[in-house]
A and B are shown apart, each in its own frame.
Chain A
Amino acid sequence: MHDLFTEVWESVRRNRLRTILTGFAVAWGIFMIIVLLGAGNGLMGAFNQGGRDFASNTMMMGGGWTTKPYDGLKEGRRVRLDMSDMERLDKEPFAQYVDDVTTTHTQGGFTMTYGRRYYTNVSLCGTFPSYSDMNKIQIVAGRFINEKDINERRKVIVLSNLMAQNFLNGGNNFRDLLGKRVKVGNFSFQVIGIRKGDESSDDRDLYVPYSTIKTIFALDNRIDQMTFTFHGLNTEEENEAFEKELKASVNTAHRAAPDDESATWIWNRFTQNLQMEKGSRILHTALWIIGLFTLLGGIVGVSNIMLITVKERTHEFGIRKAIGASPWNIMKLIVAESVTITAFFGYIGMALGMLACTLMDKTLGQSEMEVFDQSIRLLVNPTVGMDVALEATLVLIIAGTLAGLAPARKAARVRPIEALRDE
């Protein structure tokens, strides 16, 4: 091994400029692969950032407008879900898949006051205990709404830690706020929990029991939408079948055609994620292919200089063969040189690529865009992991071998007699 590398080093040293120029193409190829994959990861991260806070196996269902006449009614009628639809999910054939069912009712535009401090434009969200799990609400002090709150229609409230901080004059001891009363509009609520906020507009949502809100605002049985978690639906087909059946059932109950696509809508986070994953895989593959084609240029370059090297060293290989080098000995020399050049410059490219990814993370990755009152990061963590580095290493070694193979075979075939003949 040591001897092999000594030979390779000698040969590379004799052709320094040419090696560097070719190596540059290889470095560039790998650099592109790393940067493309990093940017791709960042992009997918940005797409996914909205989804990361939710249980992935949830569906949301709501009413829409009919587009077909049915049961003696004309099309264009508004459909609104009600409590009976939530109960429907607790019965077969849906109950076997459905776990928790919740709904929320949000009413906005309130001002919340605590002592002399206040918050404007907050929303009251009436909801159920399982909302917390479904939406991965993190409680930092106290608790979320429970069954008892619902049953007794308690006037209790959960707010975000950022609001709590404001109310506590910037203090962090959220427990101090538990049990205290805050005023939202004209209603007084007791604080039972502080949740972790994320500085998004959702922070202004204050959670209260659904039953409480229903009473306060005198809501009837109709609901805006219902959200439920489910299990046992693992493929897109199974999900589609389930959705179709549920729609048909709900539609008929509201005197809409069972196959009316617009009478009710279902939004399925699980299949959405499946599709996102598929998209992410396709993007990943596409980026690899683009990168590999860029690298191909470098590989062709390496192959080319190896051919020139072989031509220049024909006489030397003839000497080596005359003193006992086997074809394999000669081949090894060329392949090792090719792999060394490819791997060396590949690693430089990889290091620079990772550096570029880090820079990308520090600049673009931190910039945010305001879209519909939501701040969205363009790239989230646009870097590549160890797995890509390992894959790239493998690619380099394979590429180097391939680049060296044809020249190496040519070298191995050198007939000593022809190589030694004096011109």
Chain B
Amino acid sequence: MQIELHNVHKTYEGAQPLHVLKGVNLSIEKGEFVSIMGASGSGKSTLLNILGILDNYDEGEYFVDGQLIKNLSERSAARYRNKMLGFVFQSFNLISFKTAVENVELPLFYQGVGRKRRHDMAMEYLERLGLKEWAGHYPNEMSGGQKQRVAIARALITHPQIILADEPTGALDSKTSVEVMELLGQLNREEKVTIIVVTHESGVANCTNRIIHIKDGVIGNIEENSRHNASAFGTTTVMK
């Protein structure tokens, strides 16, 4: 089991404490392509952030490759994020004053990779994603789909074992959404990367092999979807 959660709880403290995750138990194997679905506010992003060590949880246990991830120092959390994890966000989260290629290079910079090698690798990834001509452009000169592909290139460049995507198609039209999901599926098949996609679009979820439903802070039913026929909207389109 690559990812295992036992009885994970998360409460957002505040004027009105909000108990969002109420004992999540979940196992995801290496090389899986899963989606997490649920209503808005059901705690999908919260869960994904915990998986990505971007946030802490209050109770329970979270293991990655058998390693307990709990109360890590910022330094070791940074190392995990850098070496193991890749993130793709709904709002792309590219650095606006850096060009596409500079954005893609950045994770390698934090690994201490030299300038030239870093650049060459970033160019290679951009080329793979069909963005070679856009390497020197700034994010605000690119379309949503292009930006998301840059973000994917950035997530891939460190060869992470797990890619976490929070509504990666949320800001894209249906055609680009399909492209992005196909790209993720291809990565999953060819590079055996574990991919976890959070979405509330059933069409997007249908592209994945397993659909995990989250409801009232716990995991609801889990659909096997290896034949990609879960969607009521058909098997080949991603409906918005």
Residues of A within 8 A of B (CB): 2-3, 10, 14, 316, 318-329, 412, 415-417, 420, 422
Interface residues of B in 75-96 (CB under 8 A from A): 75, 78-79, 81-83, 87, 89-91, 93-96
A33 CB to nearest chain B CB (Å): 35
Report how far A364 CA is from B148 CA in the complex, Å. Answer: 67
- For chain B, residues 52 to 81, give those with C-beta under 8 angstroms from any C-beta of chain A: 52, 54-55, 74-75, 78-79, 81
Complex contact B107–A324 (CB within 8 A): yes
The residue that A420 contacts in the complex, of B83, B89, B96, with Cβ under 8 A, is B89
Bound-state Cα–Cα, A14 to B98, Å: 12
Assess whether B54 is in contact with A324, with CB atoms less than 8 Å apart: no
Assess whether B115 is interfacial by the CB under 8 Å rule.
Answer: yes
A3, A323, A422: which contacts B87 (Cβ < 8 A)?
A: A323
Known: A325-B78, A326-B79, A328-B75. A319 touches B54 (CB 8 A): no
Beyond A10-B97, A316-B95, is A323–B107 a contact (Cβ under 8 Å)? Answer: yes
Tell whether, in the assembled complex, residue A14 and residue B97 are in contact, meaning their CB atoms are under 8 Å apart: yes
Given A327-B78, A417-B55, 7 further pairs, Cβ under 8 A: A10-B97, A319-B94, A320-B106, A320-B110, A326-B79, A420-B93, A422-B91
Task: Specify the chain A residue showing the minimal Cβ separation from B105.
Answer: A3
Please measure, in the bound complex, the distance between the C-alpha atom of A417 and the C-alpha atom of B96, giving whole angstroms. Answer: 19
Secondary structure at the A interface, as helix, strand, loop or mixed, is helix
Taking A324-B78, A420-B54 as contacts, is the C-beta distance between A319 and B95 under 8 angstroms? yes
CB-defined contacts of B90 to chain A, threshold 8 Å: 422
- Point out the residues of chain A lying under 8 angstroms from B106, CB to CB: 320, 323
- Determine whether the beta carbon of A3 is less than 8 Å from that of B82: no
Whole-angstrom distance from the CB of A165 to the nearest CB of chain B? 70
Residue numbers in A under 8 Å from B83 (CB-CB): 324
B residues bordering A, Cβ < 8 Å? Answer: 49, 52, 54-55, 74-75, 78-79, 81-83, 87, 89-91, 93-97, 106-107, 109-111, 115, 154, 158
Cβ contact within 8 Å between A324 and B158: yes
Name the distance in Å between B69's Cβ and chain A's nearest Cβ.
15
Residues of A close to B107: CB separation below 8 A: 323-324
Task: Give chain B nearest CB distance to A2 CB in angstroms.
Answer: 7
CA of A25 to CA of B83 in the docked complex: distance in angstroms? 43
Q: How far is the CB of A149 from chain B (nearest CB, A)?
A: 81
The list of the 5 closest CB pairs from A to B, nearest first, reads A324-B82, A326-B78, A324-B110, A417-B55, A323-B107
Q: Which residues of chain A are near B74, meaning CB under 8 Å?
A: 321, 326-327, 412
Name the A residues within 8 Å of B87 (CB-CB).
Answer: 322-323
Among B54, B79, B96, point to the contact of A322 (Cβ < 8 A): B54
16 pairs of residues in contact across A and B, judged by CB atoms under 8 Å: A2-B115, A3-B109, A3-B115, A319-B94, A320-B95, A320-B106, A322-B52, A322-B54, A322-B87, A323-B106, A323-B107, A323-B110, A324-B78, A326-B79, A326-B110, A417-B54
How far apart are the CA atoms of A179 and B151 in the complex, in Å? 99
Do A417 and B49 touch (CB < 8 A)? yes
CB distance from B156 to the nearest CB of A (A): 12
Kindly state the separation between the CA atoms of A234 and B111 in the bound complex, as whole angstroms: 63
Query: Taking the nearest CB of chain A, how far is it from the CB of B74, in angstroms?
Result: 5
Measured in the bound complex, the distance between the Cα atoms of B106 and A410 in whole Å is: 22
Residue on A with the closest CB to B45? A421
**A422 / chain B contacts, CB cutoff of 8 Å:** 90-91
Min C-beta distance of A420 to chain B, whole Å: 6
Is A323 within 8 A of B154, CB to CB?
yes
- Inter-chain CA distance A259–B99, complex, in Å, is 88
Chain A residue at minimum C-beta to C-beta distance from B86: A323
Contact status A326-B52, CB under 8 Å = no
- CB-defined contacts of A14 to chain B, threshold 8 Å: 97
Residues of chain B within 8 A (CB-CB) of A329 are 78, 110
Query: Contact check: which of A10, A321, A420 meets B78 at CB < 8 Å?
Result: A321
Rounded to whole Å, the gap between the CB of B147 and the closest CB of chain A is 13
Interface centre among A3, A14, A321, A420 (most CB of B within 10 A): A420
Return the contact of B93 from the options A10, A319, A412, A415 (Cβ within 8 A). Answer: A319
> Contacts A319-B95, A329-B110, A417-B55: A324 and B115 contacting too (C-beta < 8 A)?
no
Alpha-carbon distance between A14 and B95 when the two chains are bound, in angstroms: 14
Partner of A327, one of B54, B75, B111: B75
A30 to nearest B CB, angstroms? 30
Which residues of chain B come closer than 8 Å to A319, judged between CB atoms?
Answer: 93-95
Query: In the docked arrangement, what's the CA distance between A288 and B83, Å?
Result: 50
User: Once the chains bind, are B75 and A326 in contact (CB under 8 Å)?
Assistant: yes
Chain A residues within an 8 Å CB radius of B93: 318-319, 322, 420
For residue A325, give the distance in angstroms from its CB to the closest CB of chain B. Answer: 5
Q: What is the CB-to-nearest-CB distance from B75 to chain A, in angstroms, rounded to a whole number?
A: 5
User: Which residues of chain B are near A324, meaning CB under 8 Å?
Assistant: 78-79, 81-83, 107, 110-111, 158
* Complex interface: chain B residues within 8 A of A325 (CB): 78, 82, 110
Contacts of A318 in B (CB 8 A): 93
Chain A residues in 8 Å Cβ range of B89: 420
CB-CB under 8 A from B111, the residues of chain A are 324
List the B side residues contacting A327 at CB < 8 Å: 74-75, 78
Residues of B within 8 A of A416 (CB): 54
Which residues of A are found within 8 Å of B91, using beta-carbon distances? Answer: 422
CB distance from A331 to the nearest CB of B (A): 11
Across the interface, name the chain A residue whose C-beta is closest to B55.
Answer: A417
> With the chains together, A323 CA to B91 CA distance in Å?
15
- Bound Cα distance A385, B10 (Å): 63
Which chain A positions have C-beta within 8 A of B54? 322, 416-417, 420
Check B81–A323 contact: CB distance below 8 A: yes
Q: How far is the CA of A328 from the CA of B79 in the complex (A)?
A: 12
Nearest Cβ in chain A — how far from B125, in angstroms? Answer: 14
Complex formed: what's the CA distance from A318 to B75 in Å? 14
Instruction: State A10–B79 Cα separation when bound (angstroms).
Output: 26
B97 touches A322 (CB 8 A): no
The residues of A that contact B52 with a CB separation of less than 8 Å are: 322
Name which residue of chain A comes closest to B164, CB basis: A322
CB distance from A224 to the nearest CB of B (A): 81
Q: How far is the CA of A324 from the CA of B77 in the complex (A)?
A: 8
